[in-house]
Chain A
């Protein structure tokens, strides 16, 4: 039975998203009656095969696309229709760094603060502080092309955290990095999120990453139906972690299923 969450920060009820194909091949159902709730302060890792609807769900939460039907609420508001309400409340780390090439590292981190009309001096101090916390002191005035992939992704993480959002959305932010860099950044990211008690939704296609980062793991099957939903706080021993890992792998490998399996 799914755990009921009082006052969820993110709440999806039978959310469906259909994309119309331009070539006349018929509609594409990316998300089909997706329902879940996320509590304040939870770090939820979302797993699924490519094309299962994770990114569509992500974009709906971010307010970048509107559901075709159903109800999606974030902090009690509809993220697409009440777009302006979420100014400063959502921070996003994308799969690619999406740094503005014409802005230095410092200016890229400052971007959100400038858009939110924060005090310029404070914005600069905040941006410098975040760059320092992420090990980028001395690189403030470097342009993105002069930074390595890992450094650019650190800048994008700093940019998301700098505005002090209530909710962090991360779409496979470490997938384009080598394992060593990804491991270091993952650890840093988890530390920062837990320190600030933010709610985070983290999309990944790696089970080990999901279990390392998430308090809770959701596994999607196409089209974004929840096939597995488990909280990891009870998973403490190595044996239990291995079992959870195997369960998730089995669910991922299974045929698309209806219903939810939750612990």
Chain B
């Protein structure tokens, strides 16, 4: 198993190296303001990470992503509970959420800029509104996938509602929730950049706008890589949590 995981990591690294090599070749053919050399991009990336004031922008974006996802997760969870418990609530709420799902992220950005003054609230609003429908439906689906057999077995012991929630509902929906976080994380990272690009004075999106104004491709790549690295780290963290929490799941030897 370790060998297979090592092989996967090596293959992934090889893929990235091929991409970097291709970029480096392009930087030898085209002007550096279009395709800066890979070492320059790497140096600029490291510079951001070790410079306090620049790292602060990365952390600001990270906090906005987490804040938005957490807000959408909590609100989405409450809506999922309401929908799950009441057909009337479902009839009212589900179509509204489906409608929201059809609204592009950029439209939410425009609405937020027009409606709200505070930058942080604007960004939070945009993040929540773009990820809320997905979280709600994913949590609801996870809840509805609860096994009727396990429900009846648990009910035979006459548990309280809280006990039922702890012992059956939470373990049932955790896999779905982890998947929802992984899926929405990528979406949130893209949306936050747009929100910051247009309506913020700090963060990765704001810095990308500055690089565009300075025609600094190396800077644009370096700030983009911050976001990519952040998403990769968080996804790996979620994957590690998944491996721990879902360790009871059988794995076929064929899959390794």
**A–B Cβ pairs within 8 angstroms, 13 of them:** A83-B158, A92-B156, A94-B149, A98-B149, A98-B152, A100-B150, A111-B167, A112-B157, A114-B163, A115-B163, A116-B157, A145-B248, A145-B249
Interface string of A65-87 (1 = CB under 8 A from B): 00000000000000000011011
Question: Is B22's beta carbon under 8 Å from chain A?
Answer: no
Q: What's the Cα separation between A42 and B140 when bound, in Å?
A: 44
CB pair B150–A115 under 8 Å, yes or no, is no
In the complex, what residues of B have CB within 8 A of residue A102's CB? 171, 246, 248
Interface residue count on the B side (C-beta < 8 Å): 18
Q: Given A111-B167, A115-B159: A92 and B248 within 8 A (CB)?
A: no
In the complex, what residues of B have CB within 8 A of residue A114's CB? 163, 167
Question: Is B250's beta carbon under 8 Å from chain A?
Answer: yes
Residues of A at the B interface (CB closer than 8 Å) are 62, 64, 83-84, 86-88, 90-92, 94, 96, 98, 100-103, 111-112, 114-116, 143-146, 163
Chain B, 132-156, CB within 8 A of any chain A CB? 149-150, 152-156
CB pair B157–A87 under 8 Å, yes or no, is yes
Known pairs A84-B158, A144-B248; list 11 more (Cβ under 8 Å).
A83-B158, A88-B157, A88-B158, A94-B152, A96-B149, A100-B150, A102-B171, A102-B248, A112-B157, A115-B163, A145-B248
Q: What's the Cα separation between A133 and B145 when bound, in Å?
A: 35
Picked from A92, A94, A100, A145, the residue with its CB within 8 Å of the CB of B250 is: A145
CB pair A115–B149 under 8 Å, yes or no, is no
Q: What's the Cα separation between A256 and B215 when bound, in Å?
A: 88
Residues of B at the A interface (CB closer than 8 Å) are 149-150, 152-159, 163, 167-168, 171, 246, 248-250
CB pair B150–A62 under 8 Å, yes or no, is no
Q: Which 9 pairs show the lowest CB-CB distances between chains A and B?
A: A145-B250, A98-B153, A87-B158, A115-B157, A143-B248, A92-B156, A115-B159, A112-B157, A102-B171
Nearest Cβ on chain B to A58's Cβ, whole angstroms: 11
Q: What's the Cα separation between A94 and B246 when bound, in Å?
A: 25
In the complex, what residues of B have CB within 8 A of residue A92's CB? 153, 156
CB pair B171–A100 under 8 Å, yes or no, is yes
In the complex, what residues of B have CB within 8 A of residue A84's CB? 158
Q: List the A residue with the shortest CB-CB distance to B159.
A: A115
In the complex, what residues of A have CB within 8 A of residue B168's CB? 100
In the complex, what residues of B have CB within 8 A of residue A86's CB? 158
CB pair B150–A98 under 8 Å, yes or no, is yes
Nearest Cβ on chain B to A113's Cβ, whole angstroms: 9
Q: What's the Cα separation between A7 and B171 when bound, in Å?
A: 42
Q: List the A residue with the shortest CB-CB distance to B160.
A: A115
Q: Given A145-B248, A145-B250: A90 and B171 within 8 A (CB)?
A: no
Q: What's the Cα separation between A62 and B149 when bound, in Å?
A: 14
In the complex, what residues of B have CB within 8 A of residue A94's CB? 149, 152-153
Instruction: Point out which of A90, A102, A163 has the most chain B C-beta atoms below 10 A from its C-beta.
Output: A102
Nearest Cβ on chain A to B241's Cβ, whole angstroms: 14
Q: What's the Cα separation between A145 and B250 when bound, in Å?
A: 6
Picked from A101, A103, A111, A163, the residue with its CB within 8 Å of the CB of B249 is: A101
Q: List the B residue with the shortest CB-CB distance to A89.
A: B158
In the complex, what residues of A have CB within 8 A of residue B155's CB? 64
Nearest Cβ on chain A to B87's Cβ, whole angstroms: 14
Q: What's the Cα separation between A96 and B163 when bound, in Å?
A: 23
In the complex, what residues of B have CB within 8 A of residue A115's CB? 154, 157-159, 163, 167
